[in-house]
Chain A
Amino acid sequence: MTLAAPNYELLHQEGLETSLLEISMGPHHPSTHGVFRMDVKLDGETVVDLKPVFGYLHRNHEKLAENMTYLSSMPFTDRLDYFNSMTNNWAYALAAEKLIEVEVPERAEYLRVIMAELTRLVNHVTLVGFFMNDLGALGTPLMYAFREREKILDLFEQASGARMMCNYFRFGGLRNDVPEGWLDRTREVVDRFPAFLDEYERLLCENEIILSRTQGVGNLSRELAVNAGITGPMLRASGVNYDLRKVDAYGIYDRFKFRVPYTDGDTGDCYDRFMIRMLEMRESVAILKQALADIPEGDIIGKVSKVFKPKPAEVYGRIEGPKGELGFYLIADGTTKPYRYRVRPPSLINLTVLRDMCLGGQIADAVIILGSIDIVLGEVDR
C-alpha cells in the first residue's frame, strides 16, 4: 500500500489546519502484550512512522548468567519467554552440551521432543487466542484456547512441578523421569487435540470479519524476511521453507515424519501467519503421536557432574523455538562460569520489520500486526 500524501495546501485553502499526530502507544496499552511502546506518527488514522521502544523489563539476563555457574542460569532461562520455558531450557542445554560432550539417553531425547512439541502447542494456541483478542474477538476464542492450554500446563506441572517455570531440562538429560501414568494422560490430551483444532478452525478460519481484517494487512516480502533475519512461523508465512527441526535435525527430530507448512507466495500477511501456526499445531500433534508411540524405557540423564569446568571453547546452539530460532552463544574460559553468555532472542529480531509492515496501514492494523509477530517482552528485553 502506498501512502498518498495529503494535499496540505488544499486543506489550508479550505481553512482546515492539519498536522501529524504523535501518539505513544504503550507501555501500558492492552494491545502491546506487555510493557512495550510504539511511538506512532499518524496522519489521520494512517501510520506515517513507527518506532518500537522497549527495555522496560530489561534485567541484563546475560550479565547475571556470566556471574553464576552453568547450572545456576538454567532456571533463569525459564523467564526469557515465559510461555515456552521448556524450549528455552532445551536451547540452553543444547549449547552447554556442546561444551561438555555428554551423551543424552534415548528416553530423555524422546521426552525432550514431547515437551518441546507440547510447548509449541501451548504457544501457538495462546498466540492465536491473543491474536483474536487484538482483532476485537474478545473472550471466546481466547477462552477456548486457554482451556486447551490449561490441559497441557497440567501435564507440565505433573512432570516438572511447575506450570510455567518448569526448569525441567538438565545438561545431559532431564531432571527427573515423568511420573507414572503421565504418558497415558499425555496421549489422551494429544488424541483430543485435533478435534479441538477442527472446531477452532470452524470458529475462526472462514469468519468474514477475520478475513477482511487480516488478509493483505502487514505484508512482508520474502527478501526482506530473509534479510532481516526473521525466523519461525513468521518466516515460513513469507514463503521460505526453513525449519531448524529439518535443517539442523537437532535432538532426534530426524526420526519423525512431519511436514513444514509454508506459503507458496512471495509475501505473507497476517492471515498467513495465523494459518501457519494453525497448521504447525497439526504437525506438532503428528510428532507427538509418533514420539509417544515409540518412547523407550531407560535412563533419564547421562553421566555429568553438577558443577563442571568446560575447556575453553566457543559454541552456538540453536533450536526451532515456537517463536523462531532461539540460540545460545557460550564462550567458556575453563572456569565454572561462562565467560560470555548470549541469548539470540527470536522475539526481538522479529520486531526488526515491525515498522516496515505497519507503514501506510491503519493504526488499528498496527495492533494486529504486532499481535501476529508474536512477541514476549520477557525475551525481547531480557
Chain B
Amino acid sequence: MSILGGGIFKGMGVTLRNFVGSYFRKERLTTNDYSWRPENKLPQSIGDYPKEEGEQLSDTTTVNHYSRNFPMLLHDTGEPMDTIRCVACRICERECPPQCIYIEKSTEKKEDADGKPQFYPAKFDIDVSVCMSCQICVEVCPFDAIVMNSQFELSTPDRFGGLLVRRDDLLKSNDYYHKIHPQEAASRDQKMADEKAAKEAKKKAAAEKVKAAAEAKAAAAEAANESKKDTE
C-alpha cells in the first residue's frame, strides 16, 4: 500500500470500468442475458397472458430441455381414456416425497392401447399446491405414463379446488409431449419400443421353445408308438 486510500481508488476504478464497460459488453451487465433460451417461449408482454379463465398460454412454454413443472398423464393417439398408459399401480403415490398424488384404482379392467385388459385409475388427483416438481414420480413409473409438463400459468382464484388437478385435466397426448420435450419424448418412445420389441422377442422365443418342446414330445411319442408297434 503506497498511499492511504489507494485501495479504495483501485476499487473505484473497477466500478468505473464496469459502469462504462456495461455499455459495450453484455457480460458486464448485472442484469442477465437469457439469449440462450428458445425465442418467444416466455410471455414477452402483459398481453401475452391468458385473459379469460381457462384459456391457456400457447402449448409450448418450454423454458429449456429439462425444465420440469408439474406432472401430467400420458395417453397414446386416440381417445384419452381408451389409450391411457397408467394402470394405477400406485408406485408414484408411494414414492412421492410430499405425498401430493392420490389414486383410486378402478374395480374392473378395460382394454388399453394394445388391446390388453388393464386396470386404470378411477381417480388420479395431483395437488399442485403441494407438488415440488422433483420428478421422482416420472423416474419410478414403470409404464412411462407420467411425465413433466411445462405449463406454468396455473394461477387460479380458487385456493382449494383450483389447485387440485383431476385425472381428465392431467391427461395429455403423446403428441403434446413431443411438442414440449422433443428429445426426451423421442428417447422415451425409443426406450418403450425397444422394451416392447425385447418383450415380443422373448415371447416369440418362449413360444418357439414351447413349440419345439411340443414337437419333441410328439416325436418322442411317435417314436414310442413305433417301438411299441415294433414289439407288437
Contact = CB atoms under 8 A, between A and B. Distances in A.
A178 to B, nearest CB: 9
Interface of B: 1, 4-8, 10-11, 13-15, 17-18, 27, 29-30, 32, 36, 63-68, 91, 94-97, 132-136, 139-140, 148
B66 A154 contact: no
Contact of A179 (B7, B11, B65, B132): B65
Nearest to A143: B30
B175 to A, nearest CB: 22
B97 A307 contact: no
A207 to B, nearest CB: 4
Contact of A162 (B1, B6, B36, B133): B133
A76 B96 CA distance: 11
B140 A307 contact: yes
A349 interface: no
A76 to B, nearest CB: 6
Nearest to B34: A154
A211 B136 contact: no
A94 to B, nearest CB: 19
Interface in A206-237: 206-211
Nearest to A159: B66
Contact of A167 (B6, B29, B65, B135): B135
A143 B27 CA distance: 13
Contact of B66 (A76, A140, A158): A158
A185 B97 CA distance: 33
Contacts of B8: 207-209
B201 to A, nearest CB: 21
A165 B131 CA distance: 13
Given A140-B15, A203-B14, A306-B139, A158 B64 contact: yes
A266 interface: no
Contacts of B140: 71, 306-307
Contacts of B11: 202-204, 206-207
Contacts of A306: 95, 139-140
A203 B97 contact: no
A50 to B, nearest CB: 31
A73 interface: yes
Given A179-B65, A208-B4, 4 more contacts: A72-B96, A161-B135, A161-B148, A208-B5
Nearest to B97: A72
Q: Which residue of B1, B27, B136 has the most chain A CB atoms within 10 A of its CB atom?
A: B136
Contacts of A162: 67-68, 133
Given A72-B97, A158-B66, A165 B7 contact: no
B13 to A, nearest CB: 7
12 contacts: A71-B95, A71-B136, A74-B136, A75-B136, A76-B97, A140-B15, A143-B30, A147-B32, A158-B66, A165-B134, A179-B64, A211-B7
A283 B56 CA distance: 48
A258 B227 CA distance: 83
A160 B135 CA distance: 11
A154 B36 contact: yes
A206 B7 contact: yes
Contacts of A144: 18, 30
B221 to A, nearest CB: 44
A73 B134 CA distance: 10
A75 B132 contact: yes
A147 B30 contact: yes
A207 B7 contact: yes
Interface string A12-30: 0000000000000000000
Q: Is the interface of A mostly helix, strand, loop or mixed?
A: helix
A328 to B, nearest CB: 16
Nearest to B66: A161
Contacts of B94: 69
B29 to A, nearest CB: 7
Interface in A71-86: 71-76
A352 interface: no
Given A207-B8, A208-B5, A199 B14 contact: yes
Contacts of A202: 10-11, 13-14
Contact of A150 (B1, B7, B14, B32): B32
Interface string A36-80: 000000000000000000000000000000001101111110000
A146 interface: yes
Which 3 A-B pairs give the minimum distances between C-beta atoms? A206-B7, A161-B66, A75-B134
Nearest to B32: A150
Nearest to B10: A202
Nearest to B5: A208
A192 interface: yes
Contacts of B18: 144
B68 A72 contact: no
Contacts of B30: 143-144, 146-147
A321 B1 CA distance: 35
A211 B8 CA distance: 11
A69 B32 contact: no
A68 B97 contact: yes
Interface in A132-182: 140, 143-144, 146-147, 150-151, 154, 157-162, 165, 167, 175-176, 179
Interface string A179-197: 1000001000000100000
B112 to A, nearest CB: 23
A183 to B, nearest CB: 14
Contacts of A210: 7
Contacts of B95: 69, 71-72, 306-307
